[in-house]
Structure 1
Amino acid sequence: MITVAICDDEPYFLVHLRKSVEHYFFIQKQEIQIFEFDNGESLLSSGQNFDMILMDLKLPGKNGLEIIQQLRREKCRCQVIFITSYQEYALQAFQVDAVHYLLKPITDENLYQALDRTIERMGKTDSKTLTITKGACTEIVFIKDILYCEVMDHRLYIHTKDTTYNYLGTLDELHKKLDSRFFGAIKAIL
């Protein structure tokens, strides 16, 4: 499931954008969960780690660029599409690794192209997996789905969005299989 945040302070545009995004993912036969925000602070305080954010630039309080800059400082790897009426911020948007920059009013065609590019980028960055072998059973876990890992009584526990896997092993062995998203926490424990 892909989690999508839409952040825009114009209620009618928020509704329109949600319908367009839902239609796109319905056509793609992809399950999604959409969260709506009318300002950046509420997006930040949600505590949710989104796969994709569709962000307006001019918002009450912090602007969309400041919100994404803060998320990037917090090591958020979400994919961002800026949707705004202001052309002059395009260069700054790409400095925070935005996938696309759309000017309002948008068409479904332009939005769908931006979503295609976003999905493609997500596939390249978040398709890494971890293979867990437990006896004769082998499980494949997407690294992006791992929330955290821990060791108790010589067993590794890998907690994901949907389930918890456990097997005999060490954090040192697991560290070699994971990417930089987990490095700081594992290094502190080791």
Structure 2
Amino acid sequence: MKIAVCDDEKVFRNDIIELLNKYSSENNIILDITEFDDGGKLVASKTVFDMIFLDHQMKDLNGLDTIKSIREKNIETKVVFVSSYSEIVFDSMKYNAFRFIVKPVSKDKLYEAMDSALEISNSERKLIVKDEMYNESIVVYEKDVIYAQADNVYTYIITEKGSYRYPYNLSALEEELDSGGFFRTNRSYIVNLEHINSYDKTGIILSNGHKAVISRGKYKDFNNCYLNYLKRATSR
């Protein structure tokens, strides 16, 4: 998940980044965080971020003008306004702000925003795969993927509707998938946490009855990741 933190005061950027790193560690998900000290630099960035934590009162380009410029590019990034100026909350909604958090940022507020963003992200994210039976490319929603299995230079995506070929290897797929909803259990498997029926130290039984092998060295990380996933799911 690519995240931008934009604030012209380093102390506030550091506070948010520290909380994000804690969230990443506690939930065993990968966050790629980039910081900006100016809204203009954020707008000029060629990276499309999944989520932006954005201050309002900045020296050159304020938060409202920054999000306006981002939306003019037809980019629907989730923007969390972080500001001491609570009166701008209604103005921020004009640009489809995802959340508004008053400084100083609390752990509970940031964690709630991240949990909600991941839940929405899981339901919206898509993959382009190959339907080999009809020799055509189709779109598969990530939430419908039960598991993925390596096959030399390709990867096979398994859903309830069938098996589809992903044109790259399992490592490439791992980078594309939302890290909060999937886990790589060994060299050959990535499983969707939503489709787990049961598991033990030898493997994971998935919703279609398939058993995915889990490496001995990965079991502890998997167990922590899955328990954190269940906590997030039950708190929604």
TM-score range relative to shorter protein: 0.5 to 0.7
Question: How far 1:6 sits from its partner (Å)?
Answer: 0.2
- Aligned letter for 1:78? T
Match of 1:129 among 127, 130, 143: 127
| 1:103 aligned residue | 102
Question: Residue 99 of structure 1 contacts residue 117 of structure 1 at CA under 8 Å; is this kept in 2?
Answer: no
Question: How far 1:130 sits from its partner (Å)?
Answer: 2.7
Q: Give the 5 Å matches for 1:6-85.
A: 6-85=5-84
Provide the alpha-carbon RMSD of the alignment: 2.9
Question: How far 1:120 sits from its partner (Å)?
Answer: 2.1
Q: Distance in 2 between matches of 1:103 and 1:140?
A: 43
- Aligned letter for 1:87? S
Instruction: Give the alignment's TM-score, normalised by structure 1.
Output: 0.68
Instruction: Give the alignment's TM-score, normalised by structure 2.
Output: 0.55
Q: Distance in 1 between matches of 2:77 and 2:119?
A: 13
- Aligned letter for 2:99? H
| 1:147 aligned residue | none
- Aligned letter for 2:11? Y
- Aligned letter for 1:19? E
- Which 5+ residue runs of structure 2 have no aligned equivalent? 143-166, 174-236
Question: Residue 6 of structure 1 contacts residue 36 of structure 1 at CA under 8 Å; is this kept in 2?
Answer: yes
Secondary structure in 2 matching 1:80: strand
- Aligned letter for 1:20? L
**CA deviation profile, 1:112-150 (whole Å, cap 9, x unmatched):** 11221222222233x233332357999987789xxxxxx
- Aligned letter for 2:83? T
Q: Distance in 2 between matches of 1:48 and 1:41?
A: 14
- Which 5+ residue runs of structure 1 have no aligned equivalent? 145-157, 164-190
Q: Give the 5 Å matches for 1:160-171.
A: none
Q: Distance in 2 between matches of 1:121 and 1:96?
A: 18
- Aligned letter for 2:131? T
**CA deviation profile, 1:143-163 (whole Å, cap 9, x unmatched):** 89xxxxxxxxxxxxx99xx58
Larger radius of gyration: 2
Q: Moved runs in structure 1, 4+ residues, more than 4 A?
A: 134-144
- Aligned letter for 2:126? K
Question: Residue 130 of structure 1 contacts residue 142 of structure 1 at CA under 8 Å; is this kept in 2?
Answer: yes
Q: Percent identity?
A: 27
